[in-house]
Amino acid sequence: MSNQALIKTCIEALDAVELLRPTIEAVYESYRLYQKENEDGSKQESLSNAKQNQQQTQKPRLRLEEEFHFNAKPRSNVTQHQSNQSNISRSGSPMEWEYSNLTSSSSQHLADRNKNNSVPPPPLPPKIKLLDKDTPPPLPPKIQLFINKEHQEEGSNASLLADSFYGSSNTKLRVLNIPLDIQAKFLALARFNTKNNVETCGILSGKLKNNQFYVTSLIIPNQMGTSDTCTTKDEEAIFEYQDERGLITLGWIHTHPSQTCFLSSVDLHTQCSYQLMLPEAVAIVCSPNHAPEFGVFRITTPDGLKEIASCKIKEPFHPHESANQMTLYNDIGNEPHLIRMMNVAPLDIIDLRDI
């Protein structure tokens, strides 16, 4: 038989089985119902048999008790009648003696039972009276706190917490990879504002890969700028774009149209916010009319970050008293263990401005 004939035969057999399937299922369903009825009938039969056996076992016991109470009264009368005849000696068959002994013992048992049931329960024990002098023990003395020592420990704990929050100079930071052409692309977008002496800012966004950060997107938000300030607007659009693409904020970039390449007091407070969220975050400054034209800055840790974060001056431009005693920020563009400029790297430009 060839393979085609065999396949054809198998298909015909399957079709025949498929045609018989409703009949087979109906027969199986009737068989299952029949089995279920038999099981229910056997259960009911076993329950009825058990009930009949229980009734049969109880019936002889009730019959014996009835016969016992029925025969007890006449025998007691016979016994009383025989006891009244003082001149007649005890006579009769041994069966009568047995009946009389049984009657007397049962009467004694009933009397003892009634006597036991009539015994009242024992009285409750008397309550223990507390004397007036029985007072609870005194409370333990309060623990004396050493205030000076407590303040000392609190100050040390706060200092440790602050140091861990602001980081340290020995904290190992992850490398931030930045495309080399980001300066040229950003200045091209800011050319109009730069000619009009208006600052332009952008957001550095990217991803974490192999324990290194990569700047992959430059977002130009809707903003309002002056000659020395730049304020973003509609931050929700930035967050929405980053969230949809799984991007991380890695820092920011802005221009100084008429000033040199440095971080002003306003820039320091802005960078402080970025750096507190991500220690590797940087601030890039582009100053096209001065040299150097490009700088990558980061606030020093922990001293510089602690100084800026604790500053309470509300005026935009203000000096910091500790600036003469410490370095508040550094240019880390030439530190390869922190910043790496990539010659060939993709960079997406997203301009969200209204213009």
Collapsing DSSP to helix, strand or coil, 3 comes out as helix
Q: How many residues can be counted in the chain? A: 355
The residue type of 149 is K
For residue 297, report the phi and psi dihedrals to the nearest 5 degrees: -115, 155
Which residue type sits at 300? T
Are 271 and 281 in contact, with CB atoms under 8 Å apart? yes
Q: Could you say which DSSP state residue 222 is in? A: E
Question: Residues 293, 270: contact at Cβ < 8 Å?
Answer: no
Burial 14-34 (b: 16+ CB within 10 A, else e): eeeeeeeeeeeeeeeeeeeee
- The secondary structure of residue 231, as a DSSP letter, is E
SS3 letters across 103-154:
HHHHHHHHHHHHHHHCCCCCCCCCCCCCCCCCCCCCCCCCCCCCHHHHHHHH
CB 307, CB 328: distance < 8 Å = yes
List pLDDT tens digits, range 278-333: 999 999 999 999 999 999 999 999 889 999 999 988 888 888 866 566 789 999 99
Residue keyed to tokens 């009930």: 51
Tokens 């498929």, residue? 18
What parts of the chain have a pLDDT lower than 70? 1, 55-119, 130-136, 143-170, 321-325, 355
Residue 347's pLDDT is: 96
pLDDT tens column, 163-198: 555 666 667 899 999 999 999 999 999 999 999 999
DSSP label at 210? T
What are the Cα distances from residue 346, in Å, to 45, 208, 242, 325, 343?
86, 15, 17, 41, 10
**Domain 170-351, architecture per CATH:** 3-Layer(aba) Sandwich (3.40)
Would you state the structure tokens that stand for residue 195, as one six-digit string? 């000619």
pLDDT, residue 277, reads 95
What pLDDT sits at residue 160? 44
